[in-house]
Amino acid sequence: MNSSSMRMNATRQAPLLLVLAALTSLLLLYSDSLLGLINFWWNSSDYNHGILLPFISIYLIWLKRNALAHSQISPHPIGLLLLFILSIGWLSAKTIDIQLVERLALMALFPALIWALLGNNTTKIILFPLTYLFFAAPVWDLFIIPLQNLTAIASFKLLQLTNLPILLEEHYISIPAGKFLIAKACGGLRFFIAAAAISSLYAYLNYRSLTRQLLFVFIALVGAVILNWVRVCIIIWIGQLTNMQHPLVNDHNSLGWWLFAGGLLPLFYFGAKFHEPAPKETKPDKILTKKTARTPLIISTLTSILIIAIAPAILYIADQNHTTDTSLVAPAPTAIDPWVEVSVLNNSWDPIFNGASSQLSQSYQSENSIIDLHISYYARQSQGSELINELNRLYDQNTRTITSQSTQQLRMSSNEILEIKELQLINSQQHTQIIWYWYRISDKNTTNPITAKLLELRKLIGKPHGSAVVALRTTYTDSSNLARSSLNSFLLKAYPSIKESLQ
């Protein structure tokens, strides 16, 4: 090998090594989120395919190695700006535990890093492999409800054509042999995502025209939806014919995958008839030189690593400042004249706030009323142990229904107004209750869950991490105004003690 060839190989290898260094830094700095994403793929039946997609992307990039070797590298400053925006988005989502945004930002960091380092021409060559991972992003959950609704209606209409006695009530389909629930999983999301991922890959490898690519993907998606309708109809008919005794009535995923695989065969067969061969690659007269690639790429690589390191560094510093005390600082008072502490009565109240560091529940009785106090306190929040979470409950939704809700402002002192959220509830025995509640994030109060989430960002600037929900409840039989008056009187006297317990 002559000296000219050695210089050429070194010139080609230098950009690769710099890109690998930047990618390795990204993987290490964001390893916690990356492991969370892998765990999500591993444990989610709808997103198991995510484990394979990184390897497919790497293989697709390898197929473009000749074009990449001769592409002009020109680091793009806008890519650096995008890196910074995405890292700050990741930091914000990580801080307030919005997992969807955190994972999307993480996925987007990879193509943004390549764009920042290699520029427009190179990124364009491997744009599809870089974005292929988004077929395993949890954004596809947005299709769950529409697919569920379509499946229920379409299956009902198709079965009506068979003269089978059938009734549709919301997502329940009733037949003489029994009743079927078209659950969210029955909407066929897993088949829809698989069709999108497989058809997009096939179209990318076999078509050059964007129109053909989009048309092929569209046909695959429509086919996946229709095959899922067929699957549901077959299962319902089998249930009717076997008096709900066939195994497929309870375990019908395997039928779906057999139908899906069978649907791919004619799709690929006819798709191959419109195959467009890739144009022959022509080597340019000039290849990368040290002057045009190495120095700017080194600067861009160092800058990129610095940018992507900022967000994890801020998060690490903020985490070091969090409180280690997981209990309420002070207990609730045993007496608040004219209320005195009593044992929880038969109509016990047990709000659910998963993962709370500490919880306090007490009841107070006066001559005319009983007030229940509940506080769930979070010294530090993490995924699944959050103050604002759809699984948290202030009341049992199976036994009580909200009849009205409102927001009120109460004057606690001459310089403090407290906003509370009011829920009026009723159960099957027509027993009525009022719940007042608010969130306290560090030293701020709010009733808005979005505001509560955003207030958690203050911990990035050194504010204490403690968060809590404070709730009061009373039961009434006659006047809701009298119940509100009792709650108001109790809160005016108890509020200083509640604040002290959460300092």
Looking at the structure of the chain, the number of domains it has is 3
> Is position 330 within any domain?
no
Same domain for 109 and 66: yes
425 touches 409 (CB < 8 A): no
Does 313 share its domain with 412?
Answer: no
pLDDT of 323-370, one tens digit each?
555 555 556 666 677 878 876 554 567 899 988 888 888 888 887 788
Alpha-carbon distance 63 to 499, whole Å? 63
pLDDT at site 464 = 62
Query: What is the spatial distance between Cα 10 and Cα 113, in angstroms, rounded to a whole number?
Result: 22
Report the C-alpha gap between 382 and 134 in whole angstroms: 24
Same domain, 297 and 245: no
Residues 123 and 257 in one domain: no
497 has pLDDT over 90: no
Claim to verify: residue 301 and residue 203 sit in the same structural domain: no
Q: Same domain for 257 and 150?
A: yes
H or E element: which one contains 42?
helix 31-43
In a domain, 491, yes or no: yes
Domain membership of residue 477 as a residue range: 335-501
Enter the pTM of the model.
0.78
* pLDDT of 2: 52
Give the least confident one: 7-11, 328-332, 419-423, 468-472: 7-11
Q: Is the domain of 353 the same as that of 493?
A: yes
pLDDT confidence tier of residue 465, bands split at 50, 70 and 90: low
What is the residue whose two structure tokens read 């993480």? 106
Write out the DSSP string of 134-188. Answer: GGGSGGGGGGHHHHHHHHHHHHHHHHHTTT---EEETTEEEETTEEEE--GGGG-
Structural domain contains residue 244: yes
Residue 358 in any domain: the answer is yes
The mean per-residue pLDDT over the stretch 360-386 comes to 84
Q: Which tens digits make up the pLDDT trace of 90-112?
A: 999 998 888 889 999 999 999 99
Task: Tell me the C-alpha distance between 161 and 389, whole Å.
Answer: 44
Burial class of residue 18 (count of CB atoms within 10 Å of its CB; 0-12, 13-18, 19+): buried
Position 77 in a domain: yes
For the ranges 54-63, 271-280, 421-430, 452-461, the maximum mean pLDDT occurs at 54-63
CA distances from 347 to 171, 248, 344, 399, 401 (A): 34, 43, 8, 12, 16
At 330, which amino acid appears? A
Residue 436 lies in a domain: yes
Same domain (yes/no): 117, 214: no
Angle between helices 77-95 and 295-320 (to 10 degrees): 10
Asked if 46 and 72 sit in the same domain, the reply is: yes
Together in a domain, 268 and 295: no
Mean predicted confidence (pLDDT) in 66-73: 85
